[in-house]
């Protein structure tokens, strides 16, 4: 197989769009599709091919990257009324990038497997900027044979491809552990910045200190800098960590684990969503915790 082979991407929002732009500029010319047509068309500037007939594009591709929001959307893309799965040829590779539960990964893979279609469990982390420059993390679980077939594509997408295991669902498990910690860190960062403000401290100076001290976290710095500046345009909607931390708590319960912080952090995201912050950047937690 050539190092570059036909590929399509379904779902080209923040992350999928960044991945498509990267692949396009590397010469892959991915076929792209999104329910918002303009998203796909905008990627033509980077060498992507916007297509209405994504089912045919998938048939003509070696691999299809699914980059939608959740398990329901993933199932709709694959098995819904306009789903692509019935037309996929045996040996086709479906790469699952959304953050979904391990059980959903296993169930989707089993259904695809009945059609002879292979699955790569490959959730991602790092945000659109890192997806665009190829430095995001990909947490990959699949058989060795399938990994070998799609490795050129995975390596084009990211310089940080973590080969988790051959057990489908382990990519999802790793992503949920990571995102639960991200959620805990972000709630903690927003809490201490709200406290610093209540104490009369300058927030930028306080964050300068934290970034060079033991309290530093990447997500805390990234989100709090924007929040302090009043920039709440969504790079990562509040709903995403609300969903992901909820999935992580569900996964923890499934193995009989109850920690002291995860559930509390998950509840903060859920409360922020109920308070009307769903469509804002998750850095809006600072404003949420500033409230009396």
Residues annotated as catalytic are 175
d(CA 225, CA 281): 12
CB 224 within 8 A of CB 197: no
CB 192 within 8 A of CB 215: yes
DSSP assignment of 55-123: HHHHHTSSEEEE--SSHHHHHHHHHSTT-SGGGPPTT-EEEE-S---HHHHHHHHHHHHTTT-EEEE--
d(CA 168, CA 276): 36
d(CA 287, CA 232): 10
HEC-encoded secondary structure of 159-177: CEEEEEECCCCHHHHHHHH
d(CA 182, CA 241): 8
What secondary structure letter does DSSP report for 273? I
3-state secondary structure at position 158: coil
**Other Cβ atoms within 10 Å of 118 Cβ, number:** 21
The burial class, CB within 10 Å (0-12 / 13-18 / 19+), for 257 is: exposed
Q: What are phi and psi of 198, to 5 degrees?
A: -65, -30
| CA-based nearest residue to 225, from 210, 215, 241, 240 | 210
């Amino acid at each position: 197989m050539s190092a570059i082979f036909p590929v399509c991407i379904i779902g080209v929002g923040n992350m999928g769009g960044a991945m498509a732009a990267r692949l396009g500029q590397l010469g892959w010319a991915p076929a792209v599709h999104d329910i918002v047509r303009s998203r796909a068309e905008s990627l033509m500037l980077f060498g992507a091919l916007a297509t209405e007939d994504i089912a045919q594009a998938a048939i003509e591709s070696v691999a299809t990257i699914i980059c939608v929001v959740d398990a329901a959307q993933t199932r709709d893309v694959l098995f819904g009324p306009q789903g692509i799965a019935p037309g996929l040829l045996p040996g086709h590779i479906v790469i699952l990038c959304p953050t979904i539960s391990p059980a959903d990964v296993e169930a989707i893979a089993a259904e695809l497997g009945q059609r002879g279609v292979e699955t790569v469990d490959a959730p991602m982390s790092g945000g659109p900027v890192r997806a665009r420059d190829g430095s995001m993390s990909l947490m990959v679980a699949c058989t060795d044979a399938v990994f070998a077939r799609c490795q050129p594509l995975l390596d084009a997408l990211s310089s940080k491809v973590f080969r988790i295991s051959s057990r489908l669902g382990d990519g999802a498990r790793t992503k949920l552990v990571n995102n639960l910690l991200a959620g805990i860190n972000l709630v903690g960062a927003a809490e201490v910045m709200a406290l610093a403000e209540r104490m009369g401290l300058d927030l930028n100076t306080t964050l300068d200190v934290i970034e060079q001290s033991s309290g530093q976290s990447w997500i805390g710095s990234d989100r709090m800098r924007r929040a302090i500046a009043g920039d709440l345009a969504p790079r990562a909607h509040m709903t995403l960590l609300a969903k992901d931390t909820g999935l992580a708590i569900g996964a923890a319960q499934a193995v009989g684990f109850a920690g002291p912080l995860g559930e509390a952090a998950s509840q903060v995201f859920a409360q922020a969503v109920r308070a009307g912050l769903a469509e804002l950047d998750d850095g809006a937690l600072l404003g949420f915790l500033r409230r009396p």
